[in-house]
Structures are given as C-alpha cells and as structure tokens.
A and B are shown apart, each in its own frame.
Chain A
Amino acid sequence: MNANHPAIPVPYVDAAQRARAGQLGMWTFLATEVLFFGGLITSYVVMRVTYPAAFAAGSRHLSFAIGTTNTLVLLTSSLTMVWAVALAGAARRRAAIACLVATGILGALFLALKSSEYHDKFVEHLVPGNAFRLPAGDPPALQIFLFLYFALTGLHALHMLVGIALVGWMVVRLGRTPAPPPDNAPELVGLYWHFVDCVWVFLYPLLYLVTPS
C-alpha cells in the first residue's frame, strides 16, 4: 500500500495514473488480438484467392439468416454496452446494471444462434475432419473454407464467452454494497466488448457474403 494514498496500490501514485495504465494496457492487449485474428484472416485471404469457387460454395452452405440476425444482435449489444459504461460513469448504478444484463443476454443469444448453426453443420457432416462428407458437386477445397469458418468463428465465440464472464463480473461489482469507488473498469470491459464486436463485423462479410446472390 502507498503511504500517501492508502486506496491506491503499488506501483501507482494516484488514481489518474492507475486509470491511464489500465486504458493503455487494454488497448495494447487489443492490438495483440488484432494480430492474433490477423494471422487467421491472412490464411483466409490466401486460401480464398486460391479457391474462389470453393469459397463461394462454402458461403452458400452457411445460413445467411442466422449470420445476419447475429450481426444485428451483436451491434445492439454494443449499444447497450455504451449506455452501461456511460451510466456507470455517471454513478447511476441500477440503470448501468440493467444495461449490462441486457448486453450479457444479447451475447448469450448470439452464442445460442451460433450453436444452432454449428449443430446444423454437424448434422450435415460439414465439420472438417474424419466425419466430413463432401456434398455432391462441391469442390474439395470446401473443407478448407469450412475449417477456416470454424477456426474464425470458434475463436470469436471463445472471446464472446470471456466477454460475457467479464460483463457478469461487472454486474456483481456494481451491485456490491457499499458501492466501490468509481473507476474505469466498466470502460475497459466495454473496450473489449466492442473489439469482439468489431471482429464479427469483419467475419460476417468474409464468411457469409462471399456471393451476394
């Protein structure tokens, strides 16, 4: 503990410095995430240029309706997240908690829809690996498209799970009595949530909109 400011842990000298560190830490972390997804998206681009027909066919095997609904669900969850951060900053705890709960529910809805899509692929034997059955008339590289589909959306879903856990943690934290001193933790969770949304904004056209027909 710091002698001058008992509430501020080492190594910080004051709350503003601590908040700055948290912010920069989160932005730096998100930069590593960009590169992490970037490696996979690069693989996607190279393979798509190599097998344009297979990627168009693969895109047609995905459910355009579910993908589009999920995009709307996630964009709405970002809206509720923005409200939650603003309300938490204005010390309106109950309203902030309501918005966070809404964010979490929308996130869970996204994952539920995603799971049903995954389920369909299992049933149709379109999961890459030993059980994969190439549908008649499709090029063999369809499997590569589906592999990248599962890798990208699976990694994204993993990030969604972490995001929902963080939102739950924020709800618990804001619900505590007596109220903890306000800090920038909701803002940091918000940054992460929006990032995961942004990833989906890239994945949706890459995977679902290869052929607009």
Chain B
Amino acid sequence: MNEAYLEVLRPGINTTIQDKGRFHLYHIGITVSGAMDQSKFQISNALVNNDLNEGVLEFAYQGPCLKLVNGNINIAITGNVNFNILRKNSTTEEGICFKNYFLEDGDQIDIISTKNSVFGYFAVQGGFKTDKVWNSLSINTKAKVGPNNGEKFSLRQKIYINKSKTEKLLEKKIDYNFLNENIIRVIKGTNYNYFSESALNIFFKEEYTVSNLSDRMGMRMEGPKLENITNTNIKSEGLVKGVIQVPADGKPIIMFSDHGTIGGYPKIAVIISADLDKVAQLPPGSKIKFKEVSLINAENYFKDHIKNINKYIREIK
C-alpha cells in the first residue's frame, strides 16, 4: 500500500514538528522545545479531532507549500495566517484560519505568511508518522534532537501521515478573538535587586522594542539600558521558559522554548505563564511594556487563560 505523505514544495523559513514539549531532561542539557504558542497548537489539534498533544507542523513568518500524495486528509491551520488551497482541478480557495478542511490526493496547501504575528500551526487528523524521541515529537534544531533527525524540513522531503484514508470531518470553525495588547505581565526575578532603582523604574515604565535577533531560543529587546549595580554575571544556574535575563549590555533577553538550560546572567523578571503565548507571537518591531504582578494573581490569570482555551475547544466539540 502506498503511504500518504505531504511533499515539501517549499519548506518555509522554519518548519518543524512540535507538540507540548520534551520534559524531564533539563538536567542533561536538553531543553523543553514544544510549540511556541501552546494555545494555537492545541486548538489546531482540536479542529481535526486529535489528541490535544498530537504533533503538528509549526511554521514561522513564511510557511511551507505542501502537496498531498496518496491519500485524503482533514487539516486545520491556526494563528493569523495567509494561505491558499490549490485544488487538483486548478481552483484556488483562500484559506481561513481556525477552520478544518478536507484535502484530497494531489491538492496543495500554500502557507504564504503569518500576519502581524510570528507562528502558525498546521494540524493533520491522526498526526504525522514519526517516532517520539524522549517521549516527544518536538524537533529541537539546536541539539538535533527529535523527528527528522532534529532538522527543520527541507525542499522535496516527504512528511508521512498516520492516517491515509479518512472521511471528511463535519465542518468545524471558531471565531478566535485576537487581543492586540502590548502589556506583558511579569513576576520579579531572583536577581531583581541586582539592578538600580532607576533601572527598575525604566524596566516597568519605558517601552521596549522586539529586536530582529529573535528566534525559538530567545527574544532580544531593544530599549533603554538597565544598570546593574551588583554583578553582570551570576554563578550559572537553571533557566526556564519566560525568564528575562539581562547580560552586561543592559538589554533584556526573554528565554523561549529552545533556550539553553543553564545561564549565567542575572534574572530581572519572569513572564507569567498566561502571557507566554502572547509574547511569542510578537514580531520584530513590536512595542511592549512590562507590568509587575503578584504570584497569586499570576496563578489566577493562568486559570483564566486555560478557561479561555477550553472554551474554544468545547466550542469545537
């Protein structure tokens, strides 16, 4: 039997498989990886009836152009994404995000670009045919760990699909409400008192700009320099997603999914869990402001955040 696959006609800038992440390995230097925007990732799976943690394709800025060979599949794209479906009979449909589609043998999907955002997700009913590595399907291109030998997808590759013959799912569609907010909520970091009072004032009052030196490892910020009055290095220690480190140049760096597991720069603050998806989607040039919140409030905001995702998922079911 011929197995169904997606042929990569254009790989896009950074197309990888991601799931929730790879856990329990920080202590040997393997980072969590996983979808940068966990909410959009989960919703993409819900739209095609998958387990919410099934591996999906994550793309950044320019996505891939893929041709379905040897099968029929249900797919969905989430995020704020421009894409077209090129049917075998030469008609072109303009794609709508947060809606499922039925692709037939020979159809192509052209993911042109993300709009005012960075990451988008492409889920296939049944998932991709590949083995988990350390219990995760996430591709970590820095450590070369995960499916596809830990590499992003390249031209002419075949991405195999678990289910090759499926019936068309009932149409599912949600109206996702994008919040255009530039306030990023944080909790004080463990080296908060390394910084001068004026530096802390600047950090919470001034605007920062997302630099174009940003990727799945981290996001550098441009803005006023933060004065360190104690030491610009600490004894190297663990890092987690969302930590904001300030190296000697005084410019904050936010740690993302593929961050190094250990770091030696002071931690001024940590982004609350509820705001991680939001900050990951900010393209270079975006202006943001940091706002301090308490731990108890952060925990409550996270509950609201989860409720909000679950509301969409219930709507789909």
A, B from the same assembly: no
Contacts from B to A (Cβ < 8 Å): none
Residues on A lying within 8 angstroms of B by beta carbon are none
